[in-house]
Structure 1
Amino acid sequence: MSRRLLLISRWRLETTRERLWELLGEPAGWPAWWPHLLGVTRLAEGDAEGIGARHAFRWRSGLGYRLLMVITSVRSDPCRELEGHASGDLHGIGLWVITEDGPGAVLLTYRWDVELRKAWMRRLAFVLLPVFAWRHFAVMRSGARGMARRLGCRLSEVEEWSAITPEQGLRRARGSPAR
């Protein structure tokens, strides 16, 4: 049984790449606008572009369990892409991609390809993978709404795709105007 998830969220925000990048580039400030993020601790600075920066993230799922991950920045292309490797309760890769979407709007896509590492999650993966994906998307939607509030912009669309195993292929989980 696979213990791996591939989850993709895409948000359409009526803001600029620069404003969005400024917010994404400061993970220590994320708990101020992302309700499920309990805290971020900087563990290492990284170089001038932020490569090598390490942050510990403490998340709450909304279902009684919490996750702790250390994210190490491995790639940064300002106003375009930010990639990090995760270790801890989940191991894998997260990638933020910012693209223009007409005048005054951007698409922010997050690709999260991870394997469960927490013992109880691995044991129950055969039945709970869909629940973990569902909670991930709920946490992401709350982040999208919080980000829009923080930027003072409109969140006009949220789309989600998931694959419980990458071999399965992506399946559209949701696509609708933002709520």
Structure 2
Amino acid sequence: MTKFLLAVHVLAAIITIGPVTVAASMFPPAARRALAAPDDPSGLATVRTLHRICRVYAVIAVAVPVFGLATANSLHVLGSAWLLTSIALTALAAAVLGARILPRQASALAALDGPAGTLEPAAVQRIAGQLGMLTGVFNLLWATVTVLMIIRPGSTTGA
């Protein structure tokens, strides 16, 4: 059962976290391109699509910690420092995504999609800059969790 849980955990991480990190990273430059070419509907469509990917996959990504905790329980490592650190970093990454990235993406999208003549280019540029930084933090958190999952410092599970 442990191998099954671990396989689902890893597949869920690859299938859900990967698209969010890529789409979130692509959003700021796509928003800037949409701002630079307001008459091109494909720019706004790209921004909408990237935001939708981030929203949908963020919800589906709940499977990652669920199966991760089930795997940790079956391996009897729930009290390990590396796992507790990973759990804290995962919660922090989820908070960055849910409380910072997604709302700012929605604000940028609303500004780009607003009524003609109400677009504030400086606001979109500011939001895109913030999103670039926040996405970098989000991706760094996930990279750290991935490294911890691979090297498991102090683990007694044989790795």
**TM-score (norm: length of structure 1):** 0.27
**TM-score (norm: length of structure 2):** 0.29
Q: Which of the two has higher C-alpha Rg?
A: 2
Name the one with the larger helix percent.
Answer: 2
